[in-house]
Structure 1
Amino acid sequence: MSTAPAGTAADAHDAPRPAPPARVDGLSIARERRARRRRLRSLPALVVEALRLCWSARRRDLVLVFGVQLLGALLLGVQVLVGREALTRVFSGGAGGAGAGTGGDLLPLVGGPLLALGGLSVVAGLAGAVRGQRMRLLSEAVQRAVWRRVVDTTTTVPLDRFDDPEFYDRLQRVSTNAVSRPVGVAQGLVSILGGAVGAVGLVVALWAIDPLLLPLLLLAGVPVFLVSRRGGRLEFDFAVAQSGPYRVRSYLRSALTGRREAKEVRAYGLAAPLGARYERLLQEYEDALTRHVGRRMRLSLLSQVLTAASVVGTVAVLLWLVDSGRLSLADAGAAGAAAPLLASRLQSLAGGVGTVLEAGLFLDDLRGFLRLGTPAGRGAQGPAALEPLVELEVDGVGYRYPQSAGPALSGVSLRVRRGEVVALVGENGSGKTTLSKLLAGLLPPGEGTIRWNGTDVAALDPAAVREHVAVVFQDFVQWQFSAHDNIAVGRPDRPDEAGAVPAAAVQAGADALLRRLPGGYRTLLSAELAGGVDLSLGQWQRVALARAFYRGAGLVILDEPTAALDARAEAELFAGIRELMSGRTVVLVSHRFSSVREADRIVVLREGRVDDTGTHEELLARGGLYAELYTLQAQAYLDEGTARAGRAPTGRHAAHR
Structure 2
Amino acid sequence: MDREVLKKAFQIVWINGKGWLLLTLVSNILLGITPLIVLWLSKELINSVLELIQNKNPENYQHIIVLIAGQFAVTSTNSIIKHFKDYYDKVFSIKLDQIIQESVLTKISEIPLNIFEKQDFYNHLVRINGSQGGRFIAPINQLLEILKVSINIVGFLFFLYQVHFALVIFSFIAAIPMYILNKKLGTRGFLIKYHNTPAGRELEYIVHLFKDRQTTKEIRVYNLTQYLKEKWKTRFQEVVKDTIKLIKMNQATKLGTETISTLTYSVASLLIVHITSSKRLTIGDFVAVGQAVQGLQNLFNQISLLFANIHNEMLYIKDLFDFLEIRTGTDTNEAEAIDFDIGVLKNEINIINLSFKYDPNGRDILKNINLKIKKGEKIAVVGSNGSGKTTFAKCITGLYPIETGKVFLDGIDINKIKPGSLYKMFSIIFQDFNRYAYSVYENIGYGDVEKVGDYEDIERIARLCGIDSFIQNFKEKYHTRLGKRLFDGEDLSGGQWQKIALSRAMFKGSEIVILDEPTSALDPISEKNIFEEFNKMFSNKTVIFISHRLSSIKFADRIIVLKDGCLIEEGTHDELIGNKNEYYNLYHSQAEWYTSKVMSQR
TM-score class normalised by the smaller sequence:
0.7 to 0.9
Question: Which residue number corresponds to residue 88 of structure 1?
Answer: 47
Q: AA paired with 1:54?
A: V
Distance in 2 between residues matched to 1:179 and 1:131, nearest whole Å:
16
1:294-349, CA deviations, whole angstroms, 9 ceiling, x for partnerless residues?
A: xxxxxxxxxxxxxxxxxxxxxxxxxxxxxxxxxx9659956996576545533432
1:509-541, CA deviations, whole angstroms, 9 ceiling, x for partnerless residues?
A: 333333333432222223122332333333222
Which structure 2 residues correspond to residues 167-206 of structure 1 after superposition, within 5 A?
167-175=121-129, 180-202=134-156
SS of the equivalent of 2:354 reads strand
Query: Superposition RMSD on alpha carbons, in Å?
Result: 3.0
On the 8 A contact 2:558/2:571 being kept in 1, the answer is yes
1:400-421, CA deviations, whole angstroms, 9 ceiling, x for partnerless residues?
A: 1127731011021122111111
Counting aligned pairs with the same residue, the percent is 26
On the 8 A contact 2:524/2:551 being kept in 1, the answer is no
Q: AA paired with 1:442?
A: L
Counterpart pick for 1:383 among 320, 323, 338: 338
Deviation at 1:112, TM superposition (A): 0.8
Say if 2:121 is the partner of 1:121: no
Question: Which residue number corresponds to residue 543 of structure 1?
Answer: 500
Which structure 2 residues correspond to residues 106-145 of structure 1 after superposition, within 5 A?
107-145=61-99
Deviation at 1:590, TM superposition (A): 0.8
Change in Cα spacing, 1:344 to 1:127, as seen in structure 2 (3 Å) is farther
On the 8 A contact 1:156/1:373 being kept in 2, the answer is no
Q: AA paired with 1:158?
A: P
Change in Cα spacing, 1:180 to 1:132, as seen in structure 2 (3 Å) is closer
Q: AA paired with 1:383?
A: I
Say if 2:36 is the partner of 1:77: yes
Distance in 1 between residues matched to 2:79 and 2:292, nearest whole Å:
17
Q: Bigger CA drift: 524-533 or 544-553?
A: 524-533
Distance in 2 between residues matched to 1:610 and 1:631, nearest whole Å:
20
On the 8 A contact 1:422/1:602 being kept in 2, the answer is yes
Deviation at 1:78, TM superposition (A): 0.6
Deviation at 1:544, TM superposition (A): 1.4
Question: Which residue number corresponds to residue 6 of structure 2?
Answer: 47
Normalised by the size of structure 2, how large is the TM-score?
A: 0.72
Normalised by the size of structure 1, how large is the TM-score?
A: 0.67
SS of the equivalent of 2:386 reads coil
Question: Which residue number corresponds to residue 591 of structure 2?
Answer: 634
Q: Bigger CA drift: 448-457 or 505-514?
A: 505-514
Deviation at 1:113, TM superposition (A): 0.6
Counterpart pick for 1:428 among 370, 378, 385: 385
Question: Which residue number corresponds to residue 515 of structure 1?
Answer: 472
Counterpart pick for 2:410 among 445, 453, 461: 453
On the 8 A contact 1:400/1:446 being kept in 2, the answer is no
On the 8 A contact 1:158/1:378 being kept in 2, the answer is no
Distance in 2 between residues matched to 1:179 and 1:88, nearest whole Å:
48
Change in Cα spacing, 1:196 to 1:115, as seen in structure 2 (3 Å) is same
SS of the equivalent of 1:427 reads coil
Counterpart pick for 1:563 among 520, 540, 544: 520
Distance in 2 between residues matched to 1:607 and 1:376, nearest whole Å:
26
Say if 2:306 is the partner of 1:352: yes
Distance in 1 between residues matched to 2:332 and 2:121, nearest whole Å:
15
Say if 2:119 is the partner of 1:162: no
On the 8 A contact 2:39/2:288 being kept in 1, the answer is no
SS of the equivalent of 1:476 reads coil
Q: AA paired with 1:430?
A: S
Q: AA paired with 1:58?
A: G
Which structure 2 residues correspond to residues 597-608 of structure 1 after superposition, within 5 A?
597-608=554-565
Question: Which residue number corresponds to residue 216 of structure 1?
Answer: none
Unaligned segments of structure 2, at least 5 residues:
162-281
Distance in 2 between residues matched to 1:329 and 1:538, nearest whole Å:
89
Question: Which residue number corresponds to residue 587 of structure 1?
Answer: 544
Q: Bigger CA drift: 500-509 or 609-618?
A: 500-509
Say if 2:351 is the partner of 1:394: yes
On the 8 A contact 2:42/2:288 being kept in 1, the answer is no
Which structure 2 residues correspond to residues 614-653 of structure 1 after superposition, within 5 A?
614-645=571-602
Counterpart pick for 1:60 among 10, 15, 19: 19
Say if 2:365 is the partner of 1:408: yes
On the 8 A contact 1:204/1:339 being kept in 2, the answer is yes
1:383-415, CA deviations, whole angstroms, 9 ceiling, x for partnerless residues?
A: 213432521111221111127731011021122
Distance in 2 between residues matched to 1:565 and 1:518, nearest whole Å:
29
Counterpart pick for 1:474 among 423, 431, 436: 431
1:144-203, CA deviations, whole angstroms, 9 ceiling, x for partnerless residues?
A: 222232223222233322234444444344336866432121122133122222233346
SS of the equivalent of 1:412 reads strand
Distance in 2 between residues matched to 1:531 and 1:336, nearest whole Å:
66
Distance in 2 between residues matched to 1:59 and 1:533, nearest whole Å:
48
On the 8 A contact 1:508/1:542 being kept in 2, the answer is yes
SS of the equivalent of 1:642 reads helix
Deviation at 1:109, TM superposition (A): 4.1
Distance in 2 between residues matched to 1:336 and 1:520, nearest whole Å:
77
On the 8 A contact 2:330/2:415 being kept in 1, the answer is no
SS of the equivalent of 1:175 reads coil
Change in Cα spacing, 1:458 to 1:194, as seen in structure 2 (3 Å) is same
SS of the equivalent of 1:415 reads strand
Change in Cα spacing, 1:204 to 1:483, as seen in structure 2 (3 Å) is farther
Change in Cα spacing, 1:615 to 1:568, as seen in structure 2 (3 Å) is closer
Distance in 1 between residues matched to 2:542 and 2:573, nearest whole Å:
19
Deviation at 1:495, TM superposition (A): 6.3
On the 8 A contact 2:354/2:366 being kept in 1, the answer is yes
Unaligned segments of structure 1, at least 5 residues:
1-39, 206-327, 646-657
SS of the equivalent of 2:72 reads helix
Counterpart pick for 2:446 among 486, 489, 494: 489
Distance in 1 between residues matched to 2:551 and 2:128, nearest whole Å:
48
Distance in 2 between residues matched to 1:117 and 1:617, nearest whole Å:
99
Change in Cα spacing, 1:392 to 1:379, as seen in structure 2 (3 Å) is farther
Q: AA paired with 1:416?
A: I
Change in Cα spacing, 1:371 to 1:405, as seen in structure 2 (3 Å) is closer
On the 8 A contact 1:488/1:501 being kept in 2, the answer is yes
Change in Cα spacing, 1:547 to 1:494, as seen in structure 2 (3 Å) is same
SS of the equivalent of 1:429 reads coil
Change in Cα spacing, 1:537 to 1:70, as seen in structure 2 (3 Å) is farther
On the 8 A contact 1:191/1:348 being kept in 2, the answer is no
Deviation at 1:462, TM superposition (A): 3.2
Count of aligned pairs = 477
Counterpart pick for 1:501 among 443, 458, 466: 458
Distance in 1 between residues matched to 2:134 and 2:80, nearest whole Å:
25
Change in Cα spacing, 1:512 to 1:334, as seen in structure 2 (3 Å) is farther
Change in Cα spacing, 1:520 to 1:335, as seen in structure 2 (3 Å) is farther
Q: AA paired with 1:458?
A: N
SS of the equivalent of 2:560 reads strand
Q: AA paired with 1:77?
A: L
Deviation at 1:508, TM superposition (A): 3.4
Distance in 2 between residues matched to 1:141 and 1:581, nearest whole Å:
46
Which structure 2 residues correspond to residues 249-288 of structure 1 after superposition, within 5 A?
none
Question: Which residue number corresponds to residue 275 of structure 1?
Answer: none
